[in-house]
């Protein structure tokens, strides 16, 4: 009697929200009052195994994200685990190519982020099964196995399968040496902690100095709400960090193309290292125009760039100095392999977007894989770090002396403590049903949609 | 005692699906088995008035669309009607700019289509209040009123407010004359009815001949699944319609850039008029490369182009000969005014995407407004027409002799008969709970996600 094959039996999804808007952590020109949230996915198998992934959102709309995961779940439940793990490229295309669901994208928005959360959960399952962190699992796949994961249909005018193979084969020789170096020294990090718009000047200066003392080679300031304030904050930050620490700035899409050029010209005397999201993330030609106008200030974007076709064009158009991939904006690990290969082809460094909920935890695996097996270098590469909410994860990131230490635990590090999940469930978890004094009653933010809209509509 | 102001009291939403996959109506290279569906929105006021709008989808995922409308509803309920109708530009920005919900886009995917459905419902309310069809309502606004509706933030490098005003003022003189001509002669239509991939050769030839007899100057064929089959069908269609009727072809994103160029080179002997969606709708640079390679065959796209920033770039890059705006892919009437102005600035004709559920009904208003008050011409302009599902609308389109007759009823023509709504509610309406013989039981398509996935995954 042969045993029944192990199959995926459930795709569970939870709406988890953290009331971060109460502290103005994470405030920027477009996100004045975010409640950092996760559409938290658990994939379970008939063998009792599980994988964990998530899509990050900033509060309202996390319920739509949950609905999108539920819409994809029937495409996953019942599949044999061996078939899924044996063809993760096909699995990803199954989620992104469903002939009815793709109408909601295609390959963008809630349905694509939902695919990313599920794909990451399945990579987590794979890592746990192999007993390896995902960065190491990826770094030990052969070039042919990696290239098989990529959907080249819309990429071939910029990156062929043969070119991708050549990139990976070139990096193959040094894999062992770079793995050893990574385990010994970690990977460079920068911090956004000092720079949120909601912070006072004193807090900015204090946190900027702490960042330097902690060993970070780069800090980031949010800009774009008020030019005079930005000039003042940039000056204070430059004074606080000195001449040898980089200061990146981030406008979170606040500007039109010409406005971005004007604004950055005003900030140029304080030597910003890059301008991140100067305008609409969809505006490929706009980013290219801004880059031409403000060099040598670098142009960075990616956290809202929704798929590999957009990254392809940003690279083709010469619009980017820094590519900021995101763990779950696109279709997870699988699509990010393609994005890393595109970046390597165009010789543009990848500096992942992180922060939020679990993004630091997930993207470190991608950057480390890039170092070991794709670009083969850390030159001009750095991972964003924000010291928020890591305590909720079972395998939180470890950042020491301005560097991410390579994760050792199996999987993609996205598992949230069951107690944190229970506490932050929206809208019924205890965090959302008692106020700050622990007195039972509606949380000040629960059921208050539109509050921050009124502010942004001004 | 002053009367309380009239406010919006409800945003109702229904999941409506038509089991069109049973007939293979609407089958194409990427949508083998669509169930044409609508996320149907009713906006109600405290004065007892109502407006009707919808977002079109192709089946699974309509529930996600419904969740997205529900997420936006709290931003709408409670607003004074006079404030909304007095500042429809601000209303649209309120929906697309919510600081938390925009994370799901920004301005793309399910959340943006949901905004489009609500915005259209509010324009419908406005038209009903004024007793005018929306094309006429729009055509009677002043240039300043129209320009006030446009969000120029990300457009100004391609279209300034002053340029938009100049376009509208130039067209102002001839409005009355063109309105009279439109009422007398209607607006040109083309038909996609003969060309679905699921149809036999005999049915294709018969329907192509009927289309010519009905007075259509252009028919459209779906292509992209099989080159040999496409060549055969294109030859049959050319023989059926003769030399003086145009044949457009539509690949529904099936190809990469180089593949599109190769494929169209094979079809060129049969003189296709345009190739629609040759590749990913996100691939602006790819469309530009294809256009350069296959001229004089025209390049068309738009039904999946998710916002005005993408259309701006398609125009800037010289990627389009034909701009196919959609009624609810973008944020409805309001964003489409910006798109019409961009097209006029770049002198590219707008030929709206239609078909689906209610798209013919809605887009006719936009094309007619374009004729009367924006581009001022019907030259090289034509509206798609598919003879499906119109019987479910209270104000269905009237196409006679290959032309859309100008709608006379107030509103945007998107209202569905209450009986049709009740019958097609998913999953509990009678259409979805009895089989073809009227015997009670689950419909053959209900609860069968993944069926067509298996096909597209091949």
DSSP summary character for residue B374: I
Rounded Cα distance between A412 and A125, Å, is 9
pLDDT value at residue B439: 42
Half-sphere exposure at residue B289, Cβ-oriented, CA atoms within 13 angstroms: 19
Nearest chain B CA: its distance from A257 CA (Å) = 6
Interchain pair A256, B64: CB under 8 A: no
Task: Tell me: pLDDT of A98 over 60.
Answer: yes
Interchain pair A285, B152: CB under 8 A: no
Quick check: A59 contacting B, CB < 8 Å? yes
The whole-number average pLDDT for the span A4-28 is 88
Interface test mutation site (partner A, options B29, B32, B109, max chain A beta carbons within 10 A):
B109
What burial class does residue B223 get, using C-beta atoms within 10 Å of its C-beta: 0-12 exposed, 13-18 middle, 19+ buried? buried
Interface test mutation site (partner B, options A28, A35, A39, A64, max chain B beta carbons within 10 A):
A64
Classify the C-alpha dihedral B252-B258-B262-B268 as positive or negative.
Answer: positive
Distance of CA A249 to the CA centre of its chain: 17
**CATH code at position B210:** 3.20.20.120
- In which domain, by residue range, is A239 found? 167-404
User: Can A222 be counted among the known catalytic residues?
Assistant: yes
* C-alpha distance across the termini of chain B, in Å: 70
**A117 φ, ψ (degrees, to nearest 5):** -65, -40
**A376 φ, ψ (degrees, to nearest 5):** 75, 15
Half-sphere exposure at residue B40, Cβ-oriented, CA atoms within 13 angstroms: 25
Contacts of A204 (CB under 8 A, 6+ apart): A194, A195, A221, A233, A236, A237, A240
Determine, yes or no, domain membership for A112: no
Edge-to-edge strand ranges of the sheet holding B8-17: B8-17, B37-45, B50-57
**Contact, A403 vs A397, CB < 8 A?**
no
Determine, yes or no, domain membership for A41: no
Quick check: A398 contacting B, CB < 8 Å? no
Task: Tell me: pLDDT of A455 over 60.
Answer: no
pLDDT value at residue A196: 84
* DSSP notation for A253-276: T---HHHHHHHHHHHGGG-EEEEE
pLDDT value at residue B435: 54
Determine, yes or no, domain membership for B37: no
pLDDT value at residue B332: 98
Tell me the pLDDT of chain B (458 aa) as tens digits.
467 899 999 999 999 999 988 776 667 777 778 899 999 999 999 999 999 999 999 999 999 999 999 999 999 999 999 999 999 999 999 999 999 999 999 999 999 999 999 999 999 999 999 999 999 999 999 999 999 999 999 999 999 999 999 999 999 999 999 999 999 999 999 998 888 888 899 999 999 999 999 999 999 999 999 999 999 999 999 999 999 999 999 999 999 999 999 999 999 999 999 999 999 999 999 999 999 999 999 999 999 999 999 999 999 999 999 999 999 999 999 999 999 999 999 999 999 999 999 999 999 999 999 999 999 999 999 999 999 899 999 999 999 999 999 999 999 999 999 999 999 999 999 999 865 444 444 455 554 443 333 222 22
Classify the C-alpha dihedral B390-B391-B396-B400 as positive or negative.
Answer: positive
At residue B422, the 3 state secondary structure works out as helix
Rounded Cα distance between A32 and A23, Å, is 11
Distance of CA A127 to the CA centre of its chain: 19
Determine, yes or no, domain membership for B317: yes
* DSSP notation for B152-187: -TTTTTT--HHHHHHHHHHHHTTHHHHHHHHHHH-E
Quick check: A152 contacting B, CB < 8 Å? yes
Minimal-distance CA residue of chain B relative to A256: B154
A295-336 pLDDT, tens digit per residue, is: 999 999 999 999 999 999 999 999 999 999 999 999 999 999
Interchain pair A65, B104: CB under 8 A: yes
> Can you count the helices (H) and strands (E) in chain B?
18, 12
Which candidate from B59, B110, B154 shows the least CB-CB separation from A283?
Answer: B154
Nearest chain A CA: its distance from B243 CA (Å) = 34
What burial class does residue A191 get, using C-beta atoms within 10 Å of its C-beta: 0-12 exposed, 13-18 middle, 19+ buried? buried
Rounded Cα distance between B378 and B188, Å, is 8
Distance of CA B216 to the CA centre of its chain: 19
Residue in the structure block whose two tokens are 């993004």? A359
User: Can B132 be counted among the known catalytic residues?
Assistant: no
Distance of CA B90 to the CA centre of its chain: 23
**Contact, A106 vs B304, CB < 8 A?**
yes
Rounded Cα distance between B294 and B291, Å, is 6
Of chain B residues 37-56, which have a CB less than 8 A from chain A? none
- Of A407, A414, A412, A361, nearest to A384 (Cα)? A361
Counting the structural domains of chain B, the total is: 1
Residue A157 is encoded by which pair of tokens? Answer: 């005018």
pLDDT value at residue A26: 66
Pairing of strands A403-404, A187-195: antiparallel
Determine, yes or no, domain membership for A435: no
Determine, yes or no, domain membership for A368: yes
Interchain pair A309, B153: CB under 8 A: no
At residue A36, the 3 state secondary structure works out as coil
What angle, rounded to 10 degrees, do the helices at B332-346 and B308-316 form?
10
Rounded Cα distance between B450 and A76, Å, is 9
Q: How many angstroms separate the Cα of B319 from the Cα of each of A329, B251, B252, B287, B352?
A: 27, 16, 16, 5, 17
Quick check: B90 contacting A, CB < 8 Å? yes
Exactly one of B220, B353, B392, B424 is catalytic; name it.
B353
- The C-alpha R_g of chain A, in whole angstroms, comes to 21
Q: How many CB atoms lie within 10 A of CB B238?
A: 18
Quick check: B233 contacting A, CB < 8 Å? no
Interchain pair A32, B279: CB under 8 A: no
At residue B322, the 3 state secondary structure works out as strand
Determine, yes or no, domain membership for B98: no
Minimal-distance CA residue of chain A relative to B314: A285
3-state percent helix, strand, coil for chain B, nearest multiple of 5 = 45, 15, 40
**B404 φ, ψ (degrees, to nearest 5):** -75, 125
A379-433 pLDDT, tens digit per residue, is: 999 999 999 899 999 999 999 999 999 999 999 999 999 999 999 999 999 999 8
Pairing of strands B50-57, B187-195: unpaired
**Contact, B354 vs B385, CB < 8 A?**
yes
Contacts of B41 (CB under 8 A, 6+ apart): B11, B12, B13, B52, B53, B54, B55, B69, B117, B118, B120, B121
Residue in the structure block whose two tokens are 């003769």? B242
pLDDT value at residue B33: 83
Q: How many angstroms separate the Cα of B65 from the Cα of each of A67, A426, B111, B328?
A: 9, 20, 7, 12
Quick check: B64 contacting A, CB < 8 Å? yes
The whole-number average pLDDT for the span A268-289 is 98
Determine, yes or no, domain membership for B361: yes
């Amino acid at each position: 009697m042969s045993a029944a094959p192990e199959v995926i039996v459930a795709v569970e999804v939870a709406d988890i929200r953290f009331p971060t808007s109460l502290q103005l952590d994470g405030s920027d020109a477009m996100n004045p009052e975010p409640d950092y949230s996760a559409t938290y996915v658990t994939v379970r198998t008939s063998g009792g195994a599980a994988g964990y992934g998530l899509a990050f959102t900033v509060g309202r709309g996390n319920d739509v994200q949950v609905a999108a995961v539920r819409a994809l779940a029937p495409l996953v439940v019942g599949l044999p685990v061996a078939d899924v793990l044996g063809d993760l490229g096909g699995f990803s295309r199954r989620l992104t190519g469903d002939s009815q669901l793709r109408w909601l994208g295609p390959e963008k928005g809630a349905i694509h982020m939902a695919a990313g959360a599920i794909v990451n959960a399945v990579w987590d399952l794979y890592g746990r099964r192999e007993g390896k962190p995902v960065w190491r699992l990826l770094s030990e796949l052969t070039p042919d196995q990696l290239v098989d994961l990529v959907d080249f249909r819309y990429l071939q005018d910029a990156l062929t399968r043969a070119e991708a193979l050549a990139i990976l084969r070139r990096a193959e020789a040094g894999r062992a040496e770079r793995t050893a170096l990574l385990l010994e020294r970690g990977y460079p990090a920068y911090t956004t902690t000092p720079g949120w718009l909601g912070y006072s000047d004193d807090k900015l200066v204090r946190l900027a100095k702490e960042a330097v003392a902690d060993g970070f080679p780069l800090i980031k300031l949010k800009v774009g709400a008020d030019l005079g304030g930005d000039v003042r904050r940039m000056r204070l930050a430059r004074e606080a960090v000195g001449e040898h620490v980089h200061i990146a700035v981030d406008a979170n899409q606040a500007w039109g193309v010409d406005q971005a050029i004007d604004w950055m010209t005003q900030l140029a005397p304080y030597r910003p290292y890059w301008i991140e999201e100067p305008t609409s993330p969809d505006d490929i030609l706009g980013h290219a125009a801004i880059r031409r106008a403000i060099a040598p200030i670098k142009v960075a974007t990616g956290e809202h760039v929704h798929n590999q076709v957009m990254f392809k064009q940003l690279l083709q158009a010469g619009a980017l100095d820094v590519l900021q991939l995101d763990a779950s904006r696109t279709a997870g690990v699988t699509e990010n392999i393609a994005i890393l290969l595109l970046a390597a082809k165009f010789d543009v460094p990848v500096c992942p977007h992180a922060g939020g909920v679990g993004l630091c935890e997930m993207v470190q695996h991608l950057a480390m894989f890039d170092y070991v097996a794709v670009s083969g270098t850390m030159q001009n590469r750095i991972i964003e770090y924000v010291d928020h909410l890591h305590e909720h994860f079972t395998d939180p990131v470890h950042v020491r002396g301005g560097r991410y230490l390579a994760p050792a635990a199996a999987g993609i590090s996205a598992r949230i403590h069951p107690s944190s999940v229970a506490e932050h469930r929206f809208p019924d978890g205890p965090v959302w049903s008692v106020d700050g004094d622990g007195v039972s009653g509606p949380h000040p933010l629960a059921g208050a949609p539109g509050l921050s809209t009124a502010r942004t509509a001004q």
